[in-house]
Amino acid sequence: MELPPSIEKWTIEDVHHWLMQVVKVHETYANRFQEEEVSGDSFLLFKKEDILDLGINHGPAVKIKCYLESLKEGSQHQSQFPEYVRTWSKEQVNQWLLQHVRLYSKYAERLQGEDVSGDCLVCFKKQDFLDLGLKSGPAVRILAELCKLDKKLEPKLQPIVHTSTEQMESPVHKAITQPDSYYTTESQTDKMVEKEPEKSQLPFQNLSEMEGIQQPKQRDLGARRKTAIVSTVPSDIPKITVEIEKILANLLKDDLKLFHFYLQEYTKSKKNAIPRGKLEGKDSMDTAVLMTSHYGNEEALQVTKDILLDINQRELVCQLEKKMDPVEQQRVSKGLLKKEANQGDKLKNLLTCGGNSLDYAYFIVVVNKSSLGQVKYFQFLNKLKLFCVLDFDPHSVDPGGLCHSYRESRVANLHSPTQYKGPTDSVIKSLNLHKQTSWVFCNGRFDLDGDSNKQLDYKNWLRKSCKDVEELVSFICNPEVISRGESLIIFLLLSPVDTEKDPIFDIYKSFIKHMDEESIINVCESQIIYEKWRELVQEKCDSDIDHRSIYELTLSEVNGTVMALGPFSQSSERLLPSYGCSFVVLKQKDEDLLTALDILCLNQCENTIDENSAEFHDHRIRVEEEFYKGGKVNWWNFYFCYKDKEKPFIKRDKYENVKKIIKSQLRDSKNMCSLLNLFHHPGCGGTTLAMHVMWDLRQDVRCAVLKDNTLPKKEVANQVSKLMKLESEKPFSVLLLVDDSKESENPHELVSCIEYALNMNVGDTPSYKVIIINCVRSHNPKEQYRQDNTRQSQYITASLTQEEQEEFEKKLRELKETHEKPENFYSFMIMKSNFDKKYIKDLANNMLKKFDCSSKEARLFAYLVLLNTYLAGSEISLSLCRDFLGMKMVEWKQDSVLSRMEPYSNFLIIDTVEDLGSYKGIRILHHSIASACLEELERSYSLKVSDITMEILQCDLFFSVGGVKHRFTRSIHQMLIERQRKKDGDEREQFSSLIGKIHEDHGRQTVQDIFVKASSRFVASASIPQALARYLCIMQSDFPEALQWAEKAKNIKQNPFTFDTIGQIHKSNLKSNNLREKQETSRNPEDLKTNIQIAENAIAAFKRAQELANEEDEAEREAADDVSEDYPRKSYNVCGYVGVLDIAFLVFEILSRLPFFEESDPMKKKYLQSFLKKTISITSVHKEDTELNNRYVEIIKEHQQFLQSLKTQVKEIFEFLSFYITNIKKSESDFRATVSVHFKKYVNIFGTNPEERKKQQQYNPQLNLEMAIEEQRLFLEENLADTFAGILQHLDKHADKIEKITESYGFLQQQQFFTQKQKTKETINYILSNIVLYLLKPKSKHVKSHSYLIPLLLKTLQDVGLGYPFPDPYYLALLLLWPSPGQENTEIGTYVRAIRKYKRMILSFRVRNTIAILYFGKGEGLKRLVPKRQLDENFKDMRRDNLFQLWRNGDIFKNKAIIKRLQRVSGTTEQGELFANHGKVKIPVRPALIGGIRSGSSTEKVSFYLGFAINGPLAYDIQYEN
């Protein structure tokens, strides 16, 4: 390969080639130039220092520079020294220097360590020697001796004999004197180990840069080096040397070589590394002596541990630490330095801000590499509430590592920095932050494969990982993740940080960019580590960290100091009840996993603080004061009363009732999960009552509070099932409190999820239960209690009984004994006054006497008053309050929010809020105080609700991005759109209470202004413009502008509710026009055109709403204001269908007023019928030839296709809704009523009365048969009997009607026989009507026998095959062909599978369960079919809601009358599926109730009762034979 003549034109490859072929350097060195992309033009500029910076040793660097200089001069390199010198190895150079130049061994080893071989030596100049630390004298002597060398006669070089110390010493640097016996002991290793090819010329200083040396795997410590012979150790060798030698003796030969490699490259000490030459051929004793003599005893031990960790010999590190006695360890770790006397107190003050408890909300720990012996001293990490750990030790997750140790007793999720990218809320949720510790590996993980998990040297870390870790730090320091001042960062330095080129130092600098340095403390393993760290921080950050650092305590002392601190939140051994009056221990790790639950233990609060101490007394005073002022109750409140029997906790009137219901459910309920609703006014003690009951039942049942209502119900259910099974062979019952629930339907979903989870995770154990106490805030709890169907509910109101008032009087006397001014405990005093409105009004009046509307404090108070009036218990975060008040962080400790808010602070309290983490929020003490203050502000200061609302919406601070701000803005959003239940029933108000108040006071313009401003703030919310659209439509009848806002909502989010709103506005517009036109005497054809266009738009919107509803897995809950958080839609959404019906019948009504379609004229009505049925066109309608009529005709012709499609659409909707109502559980009663009203209109429009039919037959006798057939079909349609579902509905009606229906179908069936034109649908309906008639009136003359119906069905099944678009024929097959006991029918399973494929059924039944309309009874033929209605007749005297409960939990099948009537069917469970067995035939059946069959996919024999639902057979009361 020829190189270009000009060096400037050399490529990177040319430089590499020249180095290899001309300079003849090692390939590794040449590769370094290639890696650094050194081409000719840059190579020319290189100095020796630049070459050294590439990690190339001094010898090769001088040679390269020498050759480069010659090249630049245009000549080849020529040496003035003998040629044989160039062939010398670096060992031979070393021999020549020692034996012929008589150079100090220190200097000779220095040259050998820098790879100075002969070809390098001949390039050296005096300055090159000086750069290696040689003095001028030795440097000049070397050059002189080189010049004296004979060109022909090469000097003799003798191999150097290695002893434990060097024989040629510098006068200044004398070796530590060793005994003669040791000097005469020759290293046996040198004699036994042959020389190997030179592998030591690897220039890199870090393991991650070594390409030729592979990281060793952990080896059996029993395997010793076979080639090593250790000499006898004299008794006076220091103990540390002996212990190091013993540890090194465990290394294999290759591992000892690797140890030597790391030793010669060791840079963490202030002393230079031991040169490679001194380590050549050394055995374990030689190495130990050399290390202790070079570093000193104490530092040699640390060096040994560091290198053993680097070569993955953790177990040897552990052995070494165990062998050192505690005194020696302390002496080594502290370097014999004098301790600072108050370091323990200093650590305590740093962690507690001068208190006794770890009161920071979170701790963030940053840690570097740990050793195995250190890990045992980190139990204190279990005590800290760790938000995250930033770990720079890639081995931390391995056995013996810090992360591994922590996870043995606590839960930590293992993350990488890149996982912290994305929207704040989504990152918090996905990583489970705030709930479980996040352990972040910041420089690789050795337990995972892949490039992204490799440990990087500093250079590569800076390029590839530094940015991600800095972004992680930025995320952590975001005040929306953790409020400012609520966290403490601990830098835990367990190994030295000797240079600024260390990732952990970069992260320190990153933290101080985002945080006040006072929020960072440093805990160092030794003073040596600390001094270097302090030096770095001082030099690079210009900061003194001494007052924030701990460095003189041993790790054991650090651990003990932290463990001795509070908080006093839990006992060391938390206990749960178990079977046989036994107890089990709740492990901390198990509790970590149950993130959704706050678990109440048997020994809650016990043994956490000395109860005879002043500290306990102060704690009690503080907790009671907070509660009685208006804070949330906690378990300490009950504990104090539990311990002090003379001062019991006040029991509300319904306490015993609630407790009795729970005990009854635990004892008698057959359900796996039961629900108890507790309806209560805000602020009247509903939650306190529930927790009081839980406290008193904590020995009988495992108790827990659901911490976060927004969690997925399945996740909560799984955690409840885990709590049930914790540490017990058999599951134990659980009592779960769901607090602050805002609607009574939501827990039913949770009930279902828990039943499913128990069935899957726990199994079939009838003795365990889950009872849910569902606390529901309500403005009318008594009415909600009255409407609750389950009877498993209670209510409490803002009213005390006489006995309760006496209890409050007694409690006030008790409080006066222990508290100052208990009359200022306003929440308690409000209840004591029996919620006296005058007392509350006077409180508000006195507080607001000097209210200054212009001050920030007063404005913030007004915001809180508004918020807590319309959303009781809501809060604004403390950090947001500080920002609003303009408080600086440095003022926080001296100037709290409450002190700034005086005098209003008497009405304020701080709560801890669990939402996207834990933060502190401020709120009004009591809902009634907030309401009274709002009234007072309006009365005395003309500060209206609308003014406060608008001021909040105009404050930019509240709407900047952030988690805690998001919660406040969510509350604002909720105030604007949440609609409350009306006091007199189940319906809701038209608008939120806040909007209702503003409308009442100010009217449209103010309401609209507020909504417009809100829409600019909540740009992603469809609910705000949707609410405004509804307001303009309902309250103002401004349909055009309402439509504009509805369209805006739709453009933000397309869902069933935004389209439904558009449809409803069109409908209201159409209704308004229709009403106006009814009252007008004149007629305008353009009105008809407008109305038809409105109708078309409305139907298009309703259809799209229905399409979207059909596409959803379940009804959406948050999309619209009319689906408020209080009452979300749970059922299949059919609003679109109903909307189309509403519009269609409005159009029919409008058409019926046209001159030629007038309803009052029978003939004109007939024209309308014919037109809508498409039998005639509008031009065929008889009418007067007037301008008005002609214009009407023109308009109708334009829209004829739309108008004539309405009848068909309406008919199809009726068929589907009839099907839905018949076959779905709990179809809504108001929905049924709406459909019924519309159907009556339908019959009125399209039906004909008997007199008209007779007249038609008289005028046209030839059409008698056709008229008779049409007459029968009209009759069936009018009675909703022309559909399969409609006929089934007659099971709940009188027999006379179904008898006429059957007669009518009989007539149609006879005509089919005569004409040979079979109509399958009519045949199917005929068979079903016979079955229904038999069940209601078996002796009717129109009933056909079982034997007659079966051939007719079989023929029909043969005709339709398995592809019929409806399930009707296959359902009949189940009823008529289901085998009796002992019989077989090989086709029945085929029909079951055919039913399950029906698409519309999948759509309709995905949310609601189907019901069995008929049951399989005893008897033959049609006698074996039993309608549900006949079963219900056995319970005539039972209340309807109680009967419903019997069906819901399956207890109805325990009744003797039911058992006597129904036939049990034998079957099996296989692979989690249920089958009915008839001979060899297995028919698939579905369990009717969740959890009907056991989990585990066990094959078992079972029996059950059989019900026939439209989507297949259902199994009830499944019993296992074993």
Nearest to 1305 by CA among 1330, 1279, 1284, 1334: 1330
% of the chain beyond a pLDDT of 70: 85
Helices (H), ranges, 741-855: 746-761, 781-787, 802-818, 826-832, 837-847
The C-alpha atoms of residue 632 and residue 873 are separated, in whole angstroms, by 10
**Does an H or E element contain 473, and which?**
helix 466-477
∠818-821-823 over CA atoms, to 5°?
110
**What average pLDDT does range 666-693 have in this prediction?**
88
Burial class (CB in 10 A: 0-12, 13-18, 19+), 448: middle
Pairing of the two strands 1500-1509 and 1481-1487: unpaired
Which residue reads 């309006």 in tokens? 938
**What average pLDDT does range 830-853 have in this prediction?**
91
The C-alpha atoms of residue 392 and residue 1082 are separated, in whole angstroms, by 87
Determine the 3-state secondary structure of 364 from DSSP. strand
Residues with Cβ within 8 Å of residue 396, at least 6 apart in sequence: 367, 370, 402, 403, 404, 439, 441
pLDDT reported for residue 715: 86
Angle, helices 239-248/314-323, rounded to nearest 10 degrees: 150
Nearest to 111 by CA among 147, 77, 149, 142: 142
277 in Cβ contact with 115 (< 8 Å) = no
pTM: 0.67
* Token pair of 724 as six digits: 């049930």
Alpha-carbon distances of 455 from 210, 498, 1136, rounded to whole Å: 13, 19, 60
pLDDT tens digits for 1015-1052? 999 999 999 999 999 999 999 999 999 999 999 999 99
CB half-sphere exposure, 800, CA atoms < 13 A: 23
pLDDT tens digits for 1055-1092? 999 999 999 999 999 999 999 998 888 889 999 999 99
Residue 1122 has pLDDT above 70, yes or no: no
298-307, 979-988, 1367-1376: the lowest-pLDDT one: 979-988
Omega before residue 766 within 30° of 0, cis: no
**What is the sign, positive or negative, of the torsion defined by CA atoms of 235, 241, 247, 253?**
negative
The C-alpha atoms of residue 485 and residue 1184 are separated, in whole angstroms, by 86
The C-alpha atoms of residue 178 and residue 161 are separated, in whole angstroms, by 17
Angle, helices 945-953/927-941, rounded to nearest 10 degrees: 100
Beta bridge partners of 1001: none
**What average pLDDT does range 1433-1462 have in this prediction?**
82
**Does an H or E element contain 404, and which?**
helix 402-407
pLDDT reported for residue 2: 79
Determine the 3-state secondary structure of 750 from DSSP. helix
pLDDT tens digits for 246-284? 888 888 887 888 888 888 888 888 788 888 878 887 888
1138 in Cβ contact with 1044 (< 8 Å) = no
Residue 988 has pLDDT above 90, yes or no: no
pLDDT band at 964 (very low <50, low <70, confident <90, very high): low
Backbone φ, ψ for residue 481 (5° rounding): -95, -50
Residue 529 has pLDDT above 70, yes or no: yes
795 CA to centre of own chain: 33
Nearest to 89 by CA among 203, 190, 167, 195: 195
The C-alpha atoms of residue 196 and residue 200 are separated, in whole angstroms, by 10
pLDDT band at 1392 (very low <50, low <70, confident <90, very high): confident
Count other Cβ atoms within 10 Å, centred on residue 467: 12
Residue 15 has pLDDT above 80, yes or no: yes
**What average pLDDT does range 184-207 have in this prediction?**
35
Pairing of the two strands 437-441 and 412-415: parallel
pLDDT band at 755 (very low <50, low <70, confident <90, very high): confident
452 CA to centre of own chain: 25
* Token pair of 934 as six digits: 């709002």
Beta bridge partners of 1467: 1476, 1502
CA dihedral 1268, 1273, 1277, 1280 (to 10 degrees): 110
**Euclidean distance between the first and the last CA atom of the chain, given in angstroms as a whole number:** 88
Nearest to 965 by CA among 895, 923, 916: 916
Residue 982 has pLDDT above 70, yes or no: no
pLDDT reported for residue 986: 56
HEC states along 498-561?
Answer: CCCCCHHHHHHHHHHHHCCHHHEEEEECCHHHHHHHHHHHHHHHCCCCHHHEECCCCHHHHHHH
Q: At 1089, which amino acid appears?
A: K
1502 in Cβ contact with 1521 (< 8 Å) = yes
Helices (H), ranges, 669-775: 686-696, 713-725, 746-761
* Token pair of 687 as six digits: 């939650």
pLDDT reported for residue 919: 77
429 CA to centre of own chain: 4
For 577-594, b where at least 16 C-beta lie within 10 A, e where not — what string?
A: bbeeeeebebeeebbbbb
**What average pLDDT does range 208-216 have in this prediction?**
35
Nearest to 321 by CA among 255, 372, 287, 245: 372
Q: At 894, which amino acid appears?
A: Q
pLDDT band at 199 (very low <50, low <70, confident <90, very high): very low
Which residue reads 């199917």 in tokens? 1324
Nearest to 1286 by CA among 1241, 1235, 1320, 1357: 1235
The C-alpha atoms of residue 688 and residue 694 are separated, in whole angstroms, by 10
pLDDT band at 1503 (very low <50, low <70, confident <90, very high): very high
Nearest to 1467 by CA among 1389, 1405, 1390, 1409: 1389
Ramachandran region, residue 37 (left: φ > 0; alpha: ψ -120 to 50; beta: rest): left
